[in-house]
Amino acid sequence: MKKLILSVVAIVGLSLSASSQIEIYVDGDATSTDYAGGGTYTYYANAAADNEKKIRIYNQSGTTEMWLISRRRIAQPANWQDYLCWGHESDQFGGICIGAQGMDMELYQMNSNAVTVADGEHGVLAAHCETSSDAGTATYRYYVGTDQDPFQDSIDVVAIITPASVIEQQPELTVGVQPNPATDNITITAGGVNSASVQIVDVLGNIILNTTVSGTKSINVAEYRNGIYFVNVSAQGTRVSRKVIVRH
């Protein structure tokens, strides 16, 4: 039993360390969410030749890192293609690019194409999906890591594409979680929708709480263990994730 407890503590420690060393943001995301720890970013667009999302990955590890990117194609319509570029802001924006023809496998790793990212700096991942005129939904998971540990952190990107002639109004869900760090209570605010579902999970993916919020809601976290939690708020197909630290 002691060995099992020590193993669980070690896993939690590693997960907390990985989550705190990497921050992931998406250009154009009005919620300014940090998607590190496996968060999901969803966007809606009309069908076009190419849809691009720029993802900024920040190094908060305290040391310079040599990072590479891997992509797992979780779901994609048959006629779609995807490709990515990975580099620095100054590349404007080429970086290291892999074309669609080189990414036909479910999991693609940019082996030996690592980019040097200094502490406090960031690399830019330009994630593309080519939809032509076909509507549909695709989900891609982008990992960041090193040659020795390529799956240190990740972000899921969900692309929901409508026909070019359709302009679909989507809810403008805004989410706030205060205070952060938290000791006794957190207040969750969901704006732009009448109500939203709320799920709180720990760094191991365990569901701590399922509830709903209409406007604002206070959650007692006094009994939660110290550590990082993710508050996932969903409404009408839109999902926003917030990272919160509980510290007693």
User: Which tens digit of pLDDT belongs to each residue from 48-89?
Assistant: 555 788 899 999 999 999 998 888 888 888 888 888 888 887
137-176 pLDDT, tens per residue?
889 999 999 888 889 999 999 988 877 555 445 557 888 8
**Domain boundaries, position 96:** 2-162
> Which stretch of DSSP H or E encloses residue 129?
strand 122-130
Q: Are residues 142 and 207 in the same domain?
A: no
According to DSSP, the residues that pair with 245 across neighbouring strands are 228
| pTM exceeds 0.85 | no
DSSP-derived letter for residue 83 is E
Q: Are residues 78 and 152 in the same domain?
A: yes
| Residue type at 30 in one-letter notation | A
More confident residue, 47 or 79: 79
Distances from the Cα of 239 to the Cαs of 79, 80, 164, 196, in angstroms? 26, 23, 24, 9
Q: Are residues 140 and 203 in the same domain?
A: no
Please report, rounded to a whole number, the percentage of residues in the chain having pLDDT higher than 70: 77
CATH number at residue 191: 2.60.40.3080
CA distance 57 to 173: 23
Dig out the tokens for 21 from the structure: 């060393």
Q: Is the dihedral of CA 37, 151, 69, 103 positive or negative?
A: negative
